[in-house]
């Protein structure tokens, strides 16, 4: 019997299993489909909240720890697996912010390298940037991670750990209980028992927790992206304006995103979103006009109140832990979230103050029908 079962094979679930495994636990990870093929695969991979100054300190504290940790994580995964997640440091320009003064004040308070830049200097640094922008701020050191490669390297890292087992195409349908103790999970393939269960199922976490009569305010929020293929030196830095961004990969691929849609669990890409994303792409980078995107897809983020994830043990259900609800910031918050969870599970001093993420007081009990 494993010490822990992790439910959900996205970046958060896999990194949770990897961190637990590194700490010596016997771990079983269960994924209803293929690992890393939901929100983790679909996102852009910016290792920063899009507008970090607009979030609470709860999100900022996780983000800062993860941003500092990501380069080491990339190096470790490459060394362990031979698969490079491509943590690509490009910096990020924000253009024509309505709250630029607030952004700069936030940077001074938190010691982050964000500064105002003359728009002419931006055009010198990013010659393909469109005209018409008037103001800019820049943060050096901001990276993007190539998330499809990150999930591949994480999966390989898990496979190589002798104390971690991974099973795909196993959908968890409920929980095993002994009084207030959660002792495992139910699946179509049978029951699995463990000392503890970690629910890290992203947008699907709320549906699973409802099996216990608990309302977890995590809901799917659809996001659509498009991808262009350009020369490797086409775009030197990430750029963001009017809520839309362009992200350069090392090989010249350019991601442009993203939409925010409340459409339940529908992941169908739409023509309307494609047109809107192409217009944003061409406003940011006019050289893309007339080019056909090479891909267009949608994913489902786990939306949560204020984007603050749920990390900790579920009150009244001993042995059941949450690591979910990261909304738009799953990739950037994952390393800190997983380390914090493991610190709590193993009763160690947590890396940051854990209270803002605790499920206690943030869940609602309802009758099970």
* Residues 186, 190, 196, 199, CA torsion sign: negative
Say what percent of the chain tops pLDDT 70. Answer: 99
Q: Which of 5-42 are b and which e, b meaning 16 or more Cβ less than 10 Å from the residue's Cβ?
A: bbbbbbbbbbbbbbbbbebebbbbbbbbeebbbbbbbb
Contact 240, 255 (CB under 8 A): no
Identify the band that residue 366 occupies on the pLDDT scale cut at 50, 70 and 90. low
What is the 8-class DSSP label of residue 80? H
Domains in the chain and their CATH numbers? 4-45+149-218+305-365 (3.50.50.60), 92-140+219-303 (3.30.9.10)
Q: What pLDDT is stored for residue 151 in this prediction?
A: 97
Q: CA 15, CA 340: separation in Å to the nearest integer?
A: 12
Task: Write the pLDDT tens digit of every residue in 281-321.
Answer: 999 999 999 899 999 999 999 999 999 999 999 999 999 99
Q: What average pLDDT does this structure show over 105-132?
A: 96
Contact 90, 236 (CB under 8 A): yes
Task: Write the pLDDT tens digit of every residue in 216-237.
Answer: 999 999 999 999 999 999 999 9
Tokens representing 108 are 């001074």
Contact 85, 149 (CB under 8 A): yes
Average pLDDT, the chain: 96
């Amino acid at each position: 019997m494993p010490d822990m079962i992790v439910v959900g094979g996205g970046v958060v679930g896999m990194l949770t299993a990897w961190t637990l495994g590194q700490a010596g636990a016997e771990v079983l990870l269960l994924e209803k489909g293929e690992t890393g093929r939901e929100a983790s695969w679909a996102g852009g991979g910016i290792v920063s909240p899009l507008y970090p100054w607009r979030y609470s300190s709860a999100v900022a504290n996780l983000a800062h720890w993860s941003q500092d940790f990501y380069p080491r994580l990339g190096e470790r995964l490459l060394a362990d697996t031979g698969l490079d997640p491509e943590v690509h440091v490009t910096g990020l320009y924000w253009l024509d912010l309505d709250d630029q003064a607030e952004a700069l004040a936030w940077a001074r308070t938190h010691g982050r390298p964000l500064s105002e830049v003359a728009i002419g200097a931006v055009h010198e640094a990013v010659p393909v940037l469109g005209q018409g922008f008037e103001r800019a701020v820049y943060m050096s050191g901001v990276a993007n991670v190539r998330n499809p490669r990150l999930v591949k390297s994480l999966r390989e890292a898990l496979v190589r750990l002798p104390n971690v087992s991974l099973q795909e195409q196993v959908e968890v349908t409920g929980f095993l209980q002994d009084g207030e103790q959660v002792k495992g999970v139910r699946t179509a393939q049978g029951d699995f028992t463990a000392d503890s269960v970690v629910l890290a199922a992203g947008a699907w976490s709320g549906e699973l927790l409802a099996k216990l009569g608990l309302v977890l305010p995590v809901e799917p929020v659809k996001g659509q992206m498009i991808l262009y293929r350009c020369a490797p030196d086409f775009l030197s830095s990430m750029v963001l304006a009017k809520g839309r961004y362009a992200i350069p990969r090392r090989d010249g691929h350019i991601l442009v995103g993203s939409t925010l849609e409340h459409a339940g669990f529908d992941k169908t890409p739409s023509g309307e979103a494609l047109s809107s994303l192409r217009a944003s792409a061409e406003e940011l980078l006019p050289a893309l006009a007339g080019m056909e995107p090479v891909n267009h897809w949608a994913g489902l983020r786990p939306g949560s109140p204020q984007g603050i994830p749920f990390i900790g043990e579920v009150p009244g259900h001993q042995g059941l832990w949450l690591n979910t609800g990261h909304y738009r910031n799953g990739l950037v918050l994952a390393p800190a979230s997983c380390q914090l969870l493991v610190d709590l599970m193993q009763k160690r001093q947590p890396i940051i103050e854990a209270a803002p993420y605790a499920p206690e007081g943030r869940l609602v009990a309802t009758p099970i029908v």
